[in-house]
Amino acid sequence: KWPERVKVKEVGPRDGLQNESRFIPTENKIKWIDQLSLAGFDYIEVTSFVSSKWIPQLADAPELAKGIARFPGVTYAALVPNQRGLEQAIESGIDEIAVFMSASETHNRKNINKSIADTFPVLSMVTREALSAGKTIRGYISTVFGCPYEGKVEIDHVIRVADKLFEMGIYELSLGDTIGVANPRQVESMLEVLLKRYPAERLALHYHDTRGAALANILVSMQMGITRFDSSVGGLGGCPYAPGASGNVAAEDMVYCLREMGIETGIDFDKLLTAARYIQEKLGRTLPSRNLQACPS
């Protein structure tokens, strides 16, 4: 059984760009994000308020957040690791924040320089202050399906972090296949457990397409009742602190497939392709998206 409608959350301007070494001028990023708003996304993660030493590409977060056009009905979100990031995100007028940590100890340390145990109090403070500032909060867990440093990740580790994040007040949890190792059977068995504990409306899936299984994993997730998925235009991206990571499922590949299946996303495929071509041109190389290759102009 298939859903009638799926919510696609575009994370390309954050997850897609964070791994790009050549700095994309802020005005180009803004133009691209405006094209994404125009294409009909109602949720765009536009940047991160993280250390610019760790993620130089997103050092322009405040200017970018202030420069983008704010389309009515669109939520503009940003990644926040700590209190300093939260203050900047609020000051820059971000609608929603996303907090993030990993299910595996080593990736958590490599990505945010803290143990899992030491991350909880930091995020408790961030979420408390974000809620009192009237912001909604999304949570991410990385390495849910496998860790580049530790390999297999036990589901108990995912649940331990998920419970804490929900206690802190996140309204939705995005489960990250950070290095694109998940397979449809693993997705099925993972979701069988998680859906006994959390309602489907509270879960989103964040598949990186490193090994080409993202769309297959999305189809299985939909059959299990999940209707929220993260995407990245062009298939851009990856986590710089996860060796070998590549981009999320390309938004246009997911939207094309859903449209052909008669599943509504609210996204205009042609306008989406325009946005994908724009960022491809700015990056100056062919992006992984299949639909960009199928429709080069």
- Distance (Å, whole) CA 121 – CA 139: 15
Q: Does 138 bind ligand HMG (CB under 6 A)?
A: no
Distance from chain centroid for Cα 209: 13
The single-letter DSSP state of residue 101 is E
Q: Does 84 bind ligand HMG (CB under 6 A)?
A: yes
Judged by CB under 6 A, the chain residues 52 through 71 that form the site for ligand HMG are 52-55
Length of the chain in terms of residues written: 297
Cβ proximity to ligand HMG: between 103 and 273 the closer is 103
Give me the least distance between CB of 65 and ligand HMG, in Å please: 13
Judged by CB under 6 A, the chain residues 147 through 186 that form the site for ligand HMG are 176, 178
Read off the tokens for 272.
Answer: 């989406």
Helix (H/G/I), strand (E/B), else coil: 210 = coil
Residue window 1-30: x/- pattern of binding to Mg ion, with contact defined by CB under 5 A: --------------x---------------
Figure out which of the listed residues 126, 233, 239, 272 binds ligand HMG, where binding follows CB under 6 A: 239
List alpha helices for 133-182, DSSP H. Answer: 155-168
Interacting partner of 104 out of Mg ion, ligand HMG, none (Cβ under 5 to 8 A depending on kind): none
Asked whether the beta carbons of 30 and 290 are under 8 A apart, the reply is no
- Distance (Å, whole) CA 143 – CA 159: 12
Asked whether the beta carbons of 235 and 288 are under 8 A apart, the reply is yes
Q: Does 232 bind ligand HMG (CB under 6 A)?
A: no
Q: Which stretch binds ligand HMG (CB under 6 A): 44-52, 69-77, 180-188, 279-287?
A: 44-52
* Nearest CA-CA partner of 141 in 185, 190, 94: 190
Give me the least distance between CB of 1 and Mg ion, in Å please: 28
Tokens 């056009």, residue located: 69
Question: Is 239 noted as a catalytic residue in this protein?
Answer: yes
Cβ proximity to ligand HMG: between 111 and 291 the closer is 111
Figure out which of the listed residues 111, 119, 246, 291 binds ligand HMG, where binding follows CB under 6 A: 111
* Nearest CA-CA partner of 96 in 163, 15, 207, 9: 9
Tokens 């961030």, residue located: 126
List residues near ligand HMG by CB under 6 A. Answer: 15, 18, 48-55, 79, 81-82, 84-85, 100, 111-113, 140, 142, 176, 178, 206, 208, 239, 241
Interacting residue ranges for Mg ion, rule: CB under 5 A = 15
Catalytic residues, which ones?
A: 239
